[in-house]
């Protein structure tokens, strides 16, 4: 009976697979020891990811973590910035804009002075300028009591600007009049859609970039300065000499930048 010939074909497929896996793990451990996440190191060791791609991902992950910590961004937004899909400056400007809206959305000089009980000067239509104590606030009107007089109910659309009486000397130095608008003053504009369009975004951009502005009211009064806060119905200006004034947005005839 012929003897069976046994031929040696080398290690079996399973043995080779085991050796290959062991080599991959060893390589992955070396990469992990240098700081690469083990799962990523295994992907490199198995050829699913090149070393260059892995290092790129690690750098991006580090950048994402830094952006999240430094600028308080969400991971999704930080990832978009890190990948170049979003501009960091625009993202941060939008972040500041939203924070400002939350803080000043309902801010009103009338309410501030009503709570403090201090007198306030209010510039109104009909070339009226009264100084008194604000009280009895409603969504559409307020009472102004001039010293020694009775409270006068004033519709908010009549108000164009306001400032502390202590600031008057400094306000007067920078107060100007637009000749054309002064010669043809406009009445209050009841409908919001008919008023001068000046969005929150534009006003905040001027604030954020510290762009000087000149505002002109419906009766031609002009004030120039830097916007310091923006609310739904008012905007605060810092004028030359560090005096402060508030312009009621419904009374805007024009706003010029620069």
Q: CB-based burial of residue 1 (10 Å sphere; 0-12 exposed, 13-18 middle, 19+ buried)?
A: exposed
Beta-carbon contacts of 245 under 8 Å, excluding residues fewer than 6 positions away, are 161, 162, 163, 167, 171, 223, 225, 236, 237, 239
Residue 100 CB partners (closer than 8 Å, separation 6+): 204, 207, 229, 230
What is the mean pLDDT of the segment spanning 64-68?
A: 88
Select from 209, 233, 206, 237 the least CA-distant residue to 222.
237
- pLDDT exceeds cutoff 60 at 5: no
Confidence of residue 27 (pLDDT cuts 50, 70, 90): confident
Q: Give the three-state DSSP class for 136.
A: coil
User: Which structure tokens are listed for 42?
Assistant: 């295994």
Segment 79-132, tens digit of pLDDT: 998 889 999 999 999 999 999 999 999 999 999 999 999 999 999 999 999 999
Inter-residue contact 240 to 225 (CB < 8 Å): yes
| 134: Cβ contacts below 8 Å, ≥ 6 apart | 110, 113, 114, 120, 142, 143, 144
Q: What is the pLDDT of residues 205-246, one digit of tens each?
A: 999 999 999 999 999 999 999 999 999 999 999 998 889 999
The whole-angstrom separation of Cα 90 and Cα 108 is 28
Yes or no: say if 171 and 228 are a contact pair by the CB < 8 Å rule. Answer: no
Give all domains of the chain, ordered by start, each with its CATH number.
14-104 (no CATH), 109-257 (2.30.30.100)
Here the tokens at position 57 are 């991902």
- What is the Cα–Cα distance from 134 to 144, expressed in whole angstroms? 5
pLDDT of residue 6: 44
What is the predicted pLDDT for the residue at 17? 60
């Amino acid at each position: 009976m012929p003897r069976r010939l046994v031929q040696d074909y080398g290690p079996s497929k399973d043995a080779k697979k085991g050796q290959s896996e062991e080599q991959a793990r060893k390589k992955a451990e070396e990469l992990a020891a240098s700081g690469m996440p083990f799962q990523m190191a295994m992907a490199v060791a198995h050829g699913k990811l090149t070393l260059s791609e892995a290092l790129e991902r690690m750098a991006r992950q580090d950048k994402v973590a830094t952006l999240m910590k430094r600028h308080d961004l969400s991971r999704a937004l930080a990832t978009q910035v890190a990948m170049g899909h979003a501009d960091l400056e625009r993202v941060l400007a939008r972040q500041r804009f939203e924070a400002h809206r939350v803080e000043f959305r309902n801010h009103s000089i009338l309410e501030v002075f009503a709570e403090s009980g201090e007198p306030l000067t209010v510039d109104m239509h009909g070339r009226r300028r009264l100084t008194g104590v604000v009280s009895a606030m409603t969504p559409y009107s307020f009472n102004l009591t001039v010293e020694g007089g009775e409270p006068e109910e004033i519709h908010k659309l009549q108000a164009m600007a306001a400032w502390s009486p202590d600031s008057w000397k400094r306000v007067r130095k920078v107060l100007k009049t637009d000749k054309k608008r002064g010669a043809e003053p406009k009445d209050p504009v009841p409908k919001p859609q008919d008023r001068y369009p000046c969005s929150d975004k534009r006003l905040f951009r001027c604030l954020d970039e510290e762009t000087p502005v000149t505002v002109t009211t419906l009766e031609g009064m002009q004030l120039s300065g830097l916007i310091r806060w923006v609310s739904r119905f008012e905007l605060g200006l810092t004028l030359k000499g560090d005096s402060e004034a508030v312009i009621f947005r419904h009374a805007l005839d024009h706003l010029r930048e620069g």
